Structure 1
């Protein structure tokens, strides 16, 4: 995921189902004046974060990957509003805009490793990017 879109994949050993969620205002800009406090970056839309959480709801485990700080915004959102959904988060990893194929291959490897370690992964795992 990044601040503009999230690629969600639901997969098992044989099948894969994907969807792309887009932020409503992905190109909104905040200008930063000299001497002002803050980074000048627009906050990620709460509705966008809620739609990502809805997309992974019902899974046994999920992996969060992508560039930048958007991942941390989603984690903070979960900590503040939906801590029970955070428990199924298997990992957070930095990846610089992988293709859908690269993302799915990475998620399959990651969940296979987690499964070998005894993690709660099974059918219904999702990987938001």
Structure 2
């Protein structure tokens, strides 16, 4: 397995941890929330609650990787980045990007990530 790069497609319900070599991982959340929207005159932000066990499982799966690219729709990846910054600052420094993509297949995510990391490795753009 290549310990240099990994791409994680993540939303609030699931994560696909995709290695360029070796076995990939699927991590599911136990949350029952689907799409949430804030409604006027109601308590709460309208955002899915943080699922610490889910986020921790993703952290464990990428703990020994040098560079992590996060992709996914909506705010799930952003919530994960916030969680990692607060609870795992060493890992947060290894997140090289957070890109919005909808629901591609796993091979499409890996192809996207290979191009992304090739650009980073060639020095064409800096880490985010």
TM-score (norm 1): 0.79
Q: Is 1:44–1:70's contact at 8 Å kept on the other side of the alignment?
A: no
Cα root mean square deviation, aligned:
2.2
Match of 1:88 in 2: 94
Aligned counterparts of 1:78 and 1:103: Cα–Cα separation in 2: 22
Normalising by structure 2, what TM-score? 0.80
Aligned equivalent of 1:39, options 26, 45, 55: 45
CA-to-aligned-CA distance 1:60-89 (integer Å, 9 cap, x gap): 101000000011111110111111110111
Residue 34 of structure 1 deviates from its aligned partner by: 4.6
Long gaps (5+) in structure 1: 120-129
1:28 to 23, 30, 33: 33
Give the total of aligned pairs. 115
Q: CA shift at 1:47, angstroms?
A: 0.7
Structure 1 residue 101, shift from structure 2 partner: 1.1
For the residue of structure 1 that corresponds to 2:117, the secondary structure is: helix
Q: CA 1:64 to 1:35, structure 2 compared with 1: closer, same or farther past 3 Å? A: same
* Bigger relative CO (Cα 8 Å, ≥ 6 apart): 1
The answer for unaligned runs of 5 or more in structure 2 is 1-9
